[in-house]
Homo-oligomer: A and B are copies of this chain.
Amino acid sequence: MDSRTIGILGGGQLGRMIVEAASRLNIKTVILDAPNSPAKQINALCEHVDGSFANPKDIEKIAEKCDVLTVEIEHVDVPTLKRLRETHPKLQIYPSPETIELIQDKFTQKEHLIKNNIAVATSVAIQSPSEETLAQVGAKFGYPYMLKARTLAYDGRGNFVVKSAESIPEALKTLGGKPLYAEKWAPFTKELAVMIVRSIDGKVFSYPTVETIHQDNICHVCYAPARVPDSIQLKAKLLAENAIKSFPGCGIFGVEMFYLENGELLINEIAPRPHNSGHYTIDACVTSQFEAHVRAVLDLPLPRNFCSFSTSNTNAIMLNILGDKKEKDGELKTCMRALRTPGSSVYLYGKESRPQRKMGHINIIDSCMSECERKLRYIVGEDAEPIVTSVADRVAQEIPGTSKEPLVGIIMGSDSDLPVMSAACKILDDFEVPYEVTIVSAHRTPHRMSKYAIEASKRGLKAIIAGAGGAAHLPGMVAAMTPLPVIGVPVKGSCLDGVDSLHSIVQMPRGVPVATVAINNSTNAALLAIRLLGAYDSVYHQKMQEFLLKQEEEVLVKADRLETIGYQSYLEKK
């Protein structure tokens, strides 16, 4: 697609995946890194440069062999890059040396973001680290706070959590000698990330907002999209886009942020290169983060929406594969389980196995996030059951009455239905049936409804109670999209006394039944749901028996009283 050669500083897994993307477009690449590094293994077309991306001489060598120079790591020698711009005026360098320089030093990065009005955690540079200065920070920020190396930090190396004044000596021992800064603890509930592509003319494009979970400071899994409300996904995307607009040059950027308890978003840090949190894009998007980077630095087209999910219902989880701590190549057992899992893809980087080293990653794709999660549990070995186990098999393994997961879903078309539907909640509470209750509108949230109906049985629900008024489509449509029993509650609206809802729910065609109860009678809907559960679960069966006996008794007491005192006194005293 382009006759220019891209030189890459660094030949690790990120470089390898850039090379793969470039080869697919017949674009030549040349690598600077140790001999036989991952990226070099899959490119036999060029004579690569053996050496280091931190060594000026080696960088000069690769500059002779390429037209565009880029990085797969930010710890490169920036002065050489700046000098090359003078000596090699035709060579293009992306991201720009200034951007790399700003980002290399994490405190300078923060200052730059603050200057551009981007929200970040409060930080302070530590000029001369000592027990005294660190105690001053503790007094100002409170404990815990983060102590961080300003430069050459990655995968949590260079970070230290100062839990209390007592841990200051250990902090100094671990990070002493490095340029440091301290960061106020951000009370986050989740970590989010967004990959941003910046074009040569300064336009920014964002991949979906994802959620990352770290273990031992290393990215463990990444959920795409993030399991946060749509509004937060959008807010994160805008924050990331604004941050990247402030950096000169082009290419792909990874933007990591904290999602705080109070709903606020703060940028944590930025990487001027492909990022671990974007590996999911290889399978979940048509254009991966690696191809996006290649296209950006060569000024090839980046059309609107090119970085969205492949199709509208794509969900993905990325799992990093780290070198096993106990056994060399032990991590391949995880990979083998992934190969046994449909919709999973394994990527290995051609590295020798060492404990906690990033050896590869696994992408898990499904139309449904809870199904991705189930596959993940099997792949990481938490879930011993083979992934092909049917729902019926899983049900059979459950011990009656012990489920903590919801068995009944109560949904309604509008919050105005809640006063009616709450009676069903009350009954399920009384019977100690685990249930969930939410609003799903057939008309205003049709896709949410489809998702709810399709996932319901996979999530373990056994029955759905759906209430709706007017042209009450919710119960029937949910019944059309799930094999579970659906119980419909016609809710009385302001006109027609609920007859409209009753007709809309009960008059279903042959083939798709809805168990319809009386108008506004959600009590009966819940009791019917418990009867369904009781047919397979003796605990609920027994409780229903008892309920019926109690009901019978109440009537018998009344009958006795009526017979004893006569109808006139009964009416008078009631």
Contacts and interface: CB of A to CB of B under 8 A. Distances in A.
Contacts of A349: 26
A86 B377 CA distance: 46
Interface stretch (A254-262, A429-437, A471-479): A471-479
Interface stretch (A109-117, A173-181, A210-218, A496-504): A496-504
Interface stretch (A149-157, A243-251, A311-319, A392-400): A311-319
A85 to B, nearest CB: 28
A325 interface: no
A504 B310 contact: no
A365 interface: yes
A304 interface: yes
A207 to B, nearest CB: 13
Interface stretch (A36-44, A227-235, A559-567): A36-44
B387 A303 contact: yes
Of A283, A345, A473, which is in contact with the most chain B CB atoms at under 10 Å from its CB?
A: A473
Contacts of A126: none
Contacts of A472: 504, 507
Interface in A436-453: 441-444, 446-447, 450
Given A42-B43, A388-B304, A367 B480 contact: no
A332 B472 CA distance: 54
A348 B21 CA distance: 11
Interface string A280-302: 00010011000100010000110
Given A25-B348, A346-B25, A473-B477, A339 B443 contact: no
Contact of A42 (B42, B495, B508): B42
Q: Which of A23, A444, A471, A479 has the most CB of B within 10 A?
A: A471
B499 A503 contact: yes
B471 A365 contact: no
Contacts of A56: none
A26 B311 contact: no
A371 to B, nearest CB: 10
A1 interface: yes
A555 interface: no
A466 interface: no
A303 B476 contact: no
Contacts of A499: 503
B511 A500 contact: no
B365 A480 contact: no
Contacts of A140: none
Given A310-B311, A340-B301, A446-B480, A505 B471 contact: yes
Contacts of A141: none
Contacts of A26: 348-350, 360
A259 B413 CA distance: 46
A335 to B, nearest CB: 6
A77 interface: no
A324 to B, nearest CB: 15
A348 B24 contact: yes
Contacts of A24: 345-348
B286 A343 contact: yes
Interface in A512-535: 512, 514
Nearest to A2: B332
A476 B341 CA distance: 39
Contact of A504 (B367, B479, B503, B514): B503
A410 to B, nearest CB: 19
Nearest to A454: B312
Contacts of A308: 342
A473 B470 contact: no
A414 interface: yes
Contact of A444 (B441, B480, B503, B505): B480
A306 interface: yes
Contacts of A514: 471
A461 B25 CA distance: 38
B470 A508 contact: yes
B1 A23 contact: no
Interface string A94-126: 000000000000000000000000000000000
A503 B500 contact: yes
Nearest to A43: B44
A493 interface: yes
A366 interface: yes
A41 B441 CA distance: 55
A305 interface: yes
Given A301-B339, A342-B308, A503 B512 contact: no
B507 A493 contact: yes
Contact of A342 (B306, B477, B481): B306
Q: Return the 9 tightest CB-CB contacts between A and B, nearest first.
A: A500-B503, A470-B507, A44-B44, A443-B512, A26-B348, A504-B504, A471-B507, A446-B480, A301-B340
17 contacts: A1-B332, A1-B335, A23-B41, A26-B348, A26-B360, A36-B45, A41-B43, A43-B44, A310-B343, A311-B311, A311-B366, A443-B476, A447-B481, A470-B508, A473-B473, A477-B477, A501-B507
Given A24-B345, A42-B43, 19 more contacts: A1-B346, A20-B42, A41-B45, A283-B286, A286-B365, A300-B339, A301-B336, A301-B339, A311-B311, A311-B365, A442-B480, A443-B508, A443-B511, A444-B480, A444-B511, A446-B450, A500-B507, A503-B504, A504-B507
